[in-house]
Amino acid sequence: MSTRSLSIGIGSTPKRVLPGFGLSLGISLTFVSLVLLLPLTGLVGQLADLSLAQYWAIISDGRVVASYIVTIGAAAVAAIVNAAFGLLLAWVLVRYEFPGKRLLDALMDLPFALPTAVAGITLATLYSSNGWMGRLLEPLGLQVAYTWVGIALAMAFTSIPFVVRTVQPVLEDMPVEVDEAALTLGASDGTAFRRVILPHLWPALVTGTGLAFVRSLGEFGAIIFIAGNMPYETEITSLMIFVRLQEYDYAGASAIASVILFVSLALLLAINIWQGRFIKRLHGGRG
């Protein structure tokens, strides 16, 4: 029914064969508007109270800028570490059979399921100077809790599933024959990986790493307990937003939040465009 009304509305377009287009698209758009766009619009709306100069003053405040550096630096380290270990984990999960494989596979989703605060408290206890790990690392001069290393660790913990879960299906789809073909052509294991397997996985790996990075930018609960929250040193941007909110400075909170929002959006968009180009190239520019 809805398809018919839709095609009549558009006029000359022929009737669609797949049913439910109008209904499903309508519901999807409504949902996206309510859950995604409305809050974002609200956020931007809050900014209307600020003049451009005020906005700039808030987002370029020294303490806030320091928090950008801490957040982006730690997120970058976490993303790179996750790219390497996420790729390894996906590889192990796809290419080998071993007892407990299913368990390891299920474990990958744990960071998604676990309340981030629980993860944060656990990590903080583990790595504080009298925790299990902290006690081992302290004599080596490695301070994890209450430093940016701890922040990166918490970020890595919460975002590893992004890399594993984006690379895994691509690796599963990649025929083993491609690998074997490289070997029959005389390639060493390293060359085969570098020139055949990695380029195959590259788009998925970059996407997963990008998602992990963006997720880390906005992480709050897991980090806050392990970060120590020293102004100019271990304060993350999410915390700055939280502090503004506690001072009932909604406009200030929105201003800082908008920075994170725009950086994340720009990054996601860039990854999408880049990936689109990559896929287009495989089909010779005809997409």
Q: Which residues bind another protein (CB under 8 A)?
A: 175, 177-178, 180-188, 191, 195-196, 199-200, 281-284, 286
Q: Which is nearer to another protein, 28 or 188 (CB)?
A: 188
CA–CA distance, 135 with 149 (Å, rounded to integer): 16
Q: How far is the CB of 280 from another protein (least distance, A)?
A: 10
Q: Which is nearer to another protein, 21 or 202 (CB)?
A: 202
Q: How far is the CB of 200 from another protein (least distance, A)?
A: 6
The answer to whether residues 263 and 217 touch, using CB atoms and an 8 Å cutoff, is: yes
Q: Which is nearer to another protein, 38 or 198 (CB)?
A: 198
Q: Kindly state the DSSP code that residue 193 receives in the 8-state scheme.
A: I
Q: How far is the CB of 176 from another protein (least distance, A)?
A: 9
Q: Which is nearer to another protein, 16 or 195 (CB)?
A: 195
The answer to whether residues 243 and 265 touch, using CB atoms and an 8 Å cutoff, is: no
Q: Is 69 helix (H, G, I), strand (E, B) or coil?
A: helix
Q: How far is the CB of 178 from another protein (least distance, A)?
A: 5
Torsion sign over Cα 122, 116, 218, 110 = positive
The answer to whether residues 228 and 144 touch, using CB atoms and an 8 Å cutoff, is: no
Q: Which is nearer to another protein, 205 or 214 (CB)?
A: 205
CA–CA distance, 170 with 110 (Å, rounded to integer): 21
Q: How far is the CB of 190 from another protein (least distance, A)?
A: 10
The answer to whether residues 137 and 171 touch, using CB atoms and an 8 Å cutoff, is: no
Q: Which is nearer to another protein, 134 or 203 (CB)?
A: 203
For 254, counting Cβ atoms within 10 Å of its Cβ (0-12 exposed, 13-18 middle, 19+ buried), the class is: buried
CA–CA distance, 205 with 168 (Å, rounded to integer): 10
Q: How far is the CB of 274 from another protein (least distance, A)?
A: 14
